[in-house]
Structure 1
């Protein structure tokens, strides 16, 4: 279910007040006759509570009492006008109390009543038995009593825990493991105010995953250590606004830089997914409680936002697969090109080595030829010398025997002529 489809479902019914605004409207009252809680539906303050009995008339008779701890006073009027949600109110000067005090807050009580009404009307839980704070889950190491427990005819159990007070991640993990050992599907819902609701700071809202906005995202809240522990164990935090009967799902829009080691998405796309456990804040995607289902296989409350998460996760995985296949093709192409370049380089090197070897062989042949020529010349010279030595002197020096001997040298002019005796 995409975002457009979720908007269509949300806008198909009557106009709902904006969720998760920390509205303090009192929507529950105790019927003085039956001692049962009465829930005032949104926009029905001027209508009938029962056939022939209006909400205003029942309040005017003093038959609807305040369920707040240590109060019990009858409501004085029904506020049914303006932009606020229709609700009950005391007369001026009466019922001055804080709905967030006492052993059980009014909003905790309202949230449990809203869950019971939803479970009783849900088609998937039609044959289930509902228990409100009266049936414990027992194990040898101890017991726990969920706020709302739904038991199927075959013994399956779903525990709804509405957490308004502070809780550490370690304690939540211990309770979550307890329900898992007992075979109970535990669904945790947090309050829309108090210690479980801290608005994101301006600095946190400037983070990349929170810059993306959607009209269906009601608010931006901080993720405490408890919420990050839940994310670490695969549980997406949910919030409940009982005044509007809306479920808030932790949501972010992420543009993943790395889908897997060494891989990167080619498309510059963003995906609507649950926050990562390292994120300090997230958006709240508001969905009507009536559009939610219990996913027993995934052991969670399946909201429309969670359906979007799953579709986006599948889309991300498909994109990752496409990107990985594309990267594999590119790597194969690069590998082929590299192998071709290597082959050409080796062929060129071999050709170069062959040319060098041929040139060296030619040079060697030329050297050998010159050496042979030199040897032949020396041999000829040696043979000629030996033959010349074996010849008689007349043949060795023919000019010396063919010419007359030269006349005696003439004495110098300064020497006197010697007289002959």
Structure 2
């Protein structure tokens, strides 16, 4: 009989390194939906690891956990913490399902991970109910073994300096001490496509990321307003797209660039300048709606936050939203600027997206509480359909 690497190690009671991936919300779904999402999650994991040059040697799934062996565990953990749907990642030691073997390996394991602390706690979970020792007894046995091996230690269940986790599963026992937090949410792509309006600024970047976390595959659309914006605008959107690419399993991210400055050139002096920001946003919505029809997207996502700027008052958002039939998602609508900035810092995109870009099109006195009939009267002065067609015909693609 020929045995594989896993079977050989089990046969000879040899522990091996395995990465544990925990996921949460997916487990609450119906059986059919859960299976579909788990398949997508595993596929996304493998693709993101492969994109970073990491080889997956083995992967298994069991009860809200995915167990994965790679050729570079340290790098793999960093990659997996940016896979949507994952709650945590941990490098673990897989031990055969034998209490004596588990105790032996935990004794050895504790010498390294508890060497520089004074207090610890064992967190045992027996998911495999066929294992003859229950969770409390596992924790007691292993706690005593660690105390015997490390005389300087004390148990502190309330506030330990370090925790050692033991999970008893069908395939083996898994020992680990450090959980690396993942983004959570749903696997990328399970909810379909959306059009992400992206200036490259903080708000639109975080809004896109939040919808990606909810399982949406984004089609980024950037509106080029040069020469009315400074040169930093292009640098900012390129860097933001590179950052977003780290979170998706695709080899490249494709953004559609619309030369929106053309729309302003065609309407300068025709539309009352008080409505210029509203006109600009209307064009963004209408063009995004056309792109959505082409690519099969079901919604538009924007970084709008209620009352933050002139075009984002409730009155103006009401008027703007009525210009399109497609749903507009605004995940930041209830966030203030400080909260958005804090989120950007935590995600590591604050410096990139926080680059200041000025726009010379903003009027001195923009309309903040627009009446729909007045705005429609302004739009009736121009040929909207013709302008949209021109913008669509002159779009270009950025590949990152």
TM over 0.5: no
Larger Rg: 1
Q: TM-score, normalised by structure 1?
A: 0.22
Q: TM-score, normalised by structure 2?
A: 0.23
Higher RCO, Cα 8 Å, sep 6+: 2
